[in-house]
Structure 1
Amino acid sequence: MDMMTIRAAGPADLEAIGRVHVEAWRHAYHGIVPSSFLHRMDPAVSAERFRRRLSDPKQAFWVALAGEEIVGFASGGPNRLADFEADAEIYTLYVCPSWQGRGIGRRLVCQLAEGFAEQGYQSVAVVAFRDNPWRRFYERLGGMLVGEKTFEVDGVALPEIVYRWSDVEELRERAK
């Protein structure tokens, strides 16, 4: 993986973040999320949604670059999952389909975990669609299945699962 870097995301990255988000959703969630929703996804709308997250000082937001091209991103912060015990939560983790399988996701998770540890978080949670085959990534990193919930998209209730790491340092080490 030549010239791969991870750095904090900034406002100038939003257009590329929106593009990566839409590409990753359309690839990973084809056949899982209603196609009506996937077809309506717009990189500019995604970029604007991430603009609000980027401006939240409680959230960490990282991008992965191959040379100068943003090929992945991840964000996280305080746990928002009221029904699941954890200090921190991985909110997003997306890598361009053509760049998947090259360790980018691991590097982004490692960066998030390092930040979580620095902030004093002890445990981490993440939510994934149950039928998403890429969720095994979290299992390979030692995530323990701790529950289920649902997310509605275009009137369809999609089952989700929640993974948890009780030790943020263990997550960081496994993601290295």
Structure 2
Amino acid sequence: MFTIRKATRNDCQGIAKVHVDSWKTTYKGVVVQNYLDSLSYEQKERQWEQADLNFLFVAVNHSNDIVGFVSYGPERTKNYNIGGEIYAIYILEEYQGHGIGKALTLHAVEDLLIHGYKRMMVWVLEENRNKGFYQYYLPHEIAESSFTIGNRQHIEVAYGWNDLNLLYQRLSAKGAREING
């Protein structure tokens, strides 16, 4: 059983652990290993302590441990006239495939709608083996961007949805809210 709830300042340590551990498992063999090895819980915790937690949900297990999170809000660059953006969504590897990503995304989309957003985007690393999660909900490709980590070049793809209400309906289909009990 999992619960999705708004994050609090007390969650920063757990969010940092999920952030670092997810990067180390998701991007192993994709991002240079010395970069992954350099990621630290303390650094990420400081980063999350400075973040706006008004746009952050966490997924917690029956022991109240954070096992995933979604961070979102206004589109950061203002270059795409899209309104909202999911900045990050990470779930510990052992908890993936159980509907947590769908539930976190549903909560983020619902909150964006409440705040008046009509459209949304998310940047996804081209090599991310979980990018099919986003593709399943029929986005359109907005842009591509390249960047370097270590000595390796990477491509990010921006996926967008022009109708957040429609995305909300797709996410609300059977199963997304069943894990919240």
TM-score over 0.5 (shorter chain) = yes
Deviation of 1:155 (Å): 4.5
**TM-score if structure 1 supplies the norm length?**
0.92
Work out whether residues 11 and 54 of structure 1, in 8 Å CA contact, stay in contact via their aligned partners in 2.
no
Are 2:160 and 1:142 aligned? no
Counterpart of 2:97 in structure 1 is: 101
SS of match in other structure, 1:133: coil
For 2:19 and 2:5, locate their aligned partners in 1 and report how far apart those are by CA, in whole Å.
17
**TM-score if structure 2 supplies the norm length?**
0.89
Counterpart of 2:15 in structure 1 is: 17
Counterpart of 2:41 in structure 1 is: 43
For 1:49 and 1:150, locate their aligned partners in 2 and report how far apart those are by CA, in whole Å.
23
Are 2:114 and 1:114 aligned? no
For 2:152 and 2:52, locate their aligned partners in 1 and report how far apart those are by CA, in whole Å.
29
Deviation of 1:172 (Å): 1.4
How many residues end up aligned between the 2 structures? 171
What percentage of residue pairs aligned between the two structures are identical?
A: 29
In the alignment, structure 2 segments of 5+ residues that lack a partner are 173-181
Q: CA RMSD in A?
A: 1.3
Listed one character per residue, the Cα deviations across residues 32-75 of structure 1 (whole Å, up to 9, x for unaligned) are 111111011101111111111135xxx50110011111100001
SS of match in other structure, 2:50: helix
Are 2:155 and 1:170 aligned? no
Deviation of 1:162 (Å): 0.4
Are 2:56 and 1:61 aligned? yes
Counterpart of 1:5 in structure 2 is: 3
SS of match in other structure, 1:53: coil
Counterpart of 1:127 in structure 2 is: 123
In the alignment, structure 1 segments of 5+ residues that lack a partner are none
